[in-house]
Structure 1
Amino acid sequence: MSPGDEQGYTDYGDTGHTRTRLPEGDPYGGAPRRPARRSSPRSLVTVVGVVVLLIAAIALANRNTDKPADRATTKGSQPQTSPTAPSGTRPVGTKSTGVPIGFAQTAQGAQSAASNYAVALGSTSMFQKDSRHALLSLLYTSEAAARLQGAMDQAYSAEFLATMGLDTSGNPPSGSTFVSRVTPVGTTVLQYTDSRAKIAVWYVGLIGMAGNTSTDPVTSSWKTWTFDLTWSDGDWKIVSDTQKDGPAPVPGDDKAATSDEINKAIEGYGGFTYAR
């Protein structure tokens, strides 16, 4: 760099001429004195393009004004899937023994009912006789509840409870926490009419004993629970239900939590009322 460059001059070689470059701003603090510029055609095109894109985006957003419709099929037709998404409608306003009830007589109401029924039937309440009977009477039709009660009592036998680390009343040992939770991931309508519905609930379940002396740690499983529902006495009731394994995703690389961490999570994190 030449001395002239340092002072704001440009040397034109042997011509004997120099060009003085005045500073753009006022060295005494005034505003810069620049000649006015007219907008170039390129700038004008850019502005117009942005406006057009903005108008198109607003028009596209306003197109989806239709209310969400229940995607369902009548009995006998090919089943259609209905991706889980919030409807904006409050699912229920009442609960009985901690279980949501009073769902809408719609396909969305049936999906909400099936999701919350899966949570209740997958809870620790099913491992204690009195609460199990209460759930059966609340969620199933009277005929189905009467048919299932004896079979359920045999299934939750003292021998079975012992394999889970529970006593004959379904209680865990002192200092341990028994975990049994169902978390719905999605639902789909397999069949629907105003009086009957067939809903599949895809869920992840947790079950096991959290405690320092536990030999049955809490594990997760993925299953699909299908409910045949009927509209009875102003709510959806279960006529029958079946379960199958999966679909299960590939396990991640998450580090397994300690028993104490699981225990604190179960005690510190509550559940939800699930809504379609």
Structure 2
Amino acid sequence: MTPGDENDYGEPTRTDEGHRYGGTRLRLPEDDPYGGARRGARGPSRSMVTVVGVVVVLIAAIAFANRGGDDSSSGSSAPTGGDKPNATSTTPTGTKPVQSKTGGIPSGFAHTKQGAESAAANFAVALGSTGMFQKDSRHDLVDTVYTATAAAALKAPMDQAYSTDFLARMGLDADGNAPQGDTFVSRVVPVGTTAQSYSAASAKVAVWYLGLIGMSGTTSTDPVTSSWKTWTFDLQWTDGDWKIVHDAQQDGPAPVPGDDAAATSDEISKAIEEYGGFTYAR
């Protein structure tokens, strides 16, 4: 994926406010959040790395299950003060997710506007994963979700951006591995999508998402933090599937932080190991 707005994979720089990678900042923690007792809620969330535009999560979109037909024939004697909503008004919408995968990434999306939205959501998840921090898996991901032309142009700049120094700042070794006993977290959780334009040949889809990134461990000084961003993909229908031609990110929109107590490093590590990601239908 690409940082900022223009596929810029230049060397990360550091400012007083934190690290900036293309158009994305990572604010370093002011103290050791894993060094003491369980923390209370934090104030407005700090900006975090969308590492080379890629960040990351876990969220479930839970909808009411199909309840069948109209309840009017159930024999209920409840008073009818007005028209009741039909049972179908609470059923999930959209087609089922794709069943096929290429390189572990959903593929074979429908040649429709909904198919383009589904592709964009799944591409955001893939490009926001920990696989982007290891060279071989990163190249496979890029080859899978971008057009051949875009992938060929992106691999070298991405390799430079995911440099040894950058990985070290994230707490990873030169091969993108976390220290023994620690858990590196990088996830993207799409909250919604919108097709800003669509035709049979191309589509522009924005994905609003929650990202998680950081190192969970008792010695970590880079705790797992969250951020809200919008990732926009220019897609092209190529060889029977949607592929990325260009992508860009921007901050927000971010909701007001709640008053949930921050989890301990052990709780975060356990959650990451127990809860997997999703294949998105739309």
TM-score clears 0.5 = yes
2:191 alignment partner in structure 1: 185
Contact 1:175 1:211 in 2 (8 A): yes
Deviation at 1:61, TM superposition (A): 3.5
Does the alignment pair 1:158 with 2:142? no
Write out per-residue CA displacement over residues 120-146 of structure 1, whole angstroms, 9 at most, x where no aligned residue: 000000000000000110000000000
| 2:277 partner amino acid | G
Equivalent residues in 2 for 1:121-140, closer than 5 Å: 121-140=127-146
CA distance in 2, matches of 1:88, 1:157: 41
* Amino acid in structure 1 at the alignment position of 2:143: S
Distance 1:50 1:192, change over 3 A: same
> What residue is the counterpart of 2:70 in the other structure?
none
1:92 pairs with one of 84, 98, 101? 98
> Is contact 2:233–2:244 with CA below 8 Å preserved after alignment?
yes
1:61 corresponds to which of 80, 86, 92? 86
Taking the TM superposition and a 5 Å limit, the aligned residue runs for 1:5-154 are 50=79, 53=82, 56-57=83-84, 61=86, 86-154=92-160
Q: Structure 1's 193 and 172: CA in aligned 2 closer, same or farther, altered over 3 A?
A: same
Report the equivalent of 2:202: 196
Unaligned runs of 5+ in 1: 1-48, 65-84
Match of 2:227 in 1: 221
What amino acid is aligned across from residue 213 of structure 1 in structure 2? Answer: T
| Conserved 8 A contact 2:103-2:144 | no
Q: TM-score, normalised by structure 1?
A: 0.71
- Partner residue, 2:59: none
Partner SS for 1:134: helix
Identity of aligned residues (%): 68
Aligned residues between the structures = 205
Q: Contact 1:91–1:109 at 8 Å: present in 2 too?
A: no
Q: TM-score, normalised by structure 2?
A: 0.69
After TM superposition, give the deviation of residue 63 of structure 1 in Å. 11
**Pairwise CA RMSD of aligned residues?**
2.0
Runs of 4+ in 1 over 2 A off after TM superposition: 49-53, 60-64, 85-88
Deviation by residue 1:19-76 (Cα, 9 ceiling, x = unmatched): xxxxxxxxxxxxxxxxxxxxxxxxxxxxxx94684xx44xx73998xxxxxxxxxxxx
Larger radius of gyration: 1
In the aligned structure 1, how far is the partner of 2:164 from the partner of 2:244?
A: 27
Counterpart selection for 1:257 from 238, 259, 263: 263
Q: CA deviation at 1:232?
A: 0.3
Q: Which has the higher contact order (CA 8 A, sep 6+)?
A: 2
Structure 2: gaps (5+ residues): 1-77
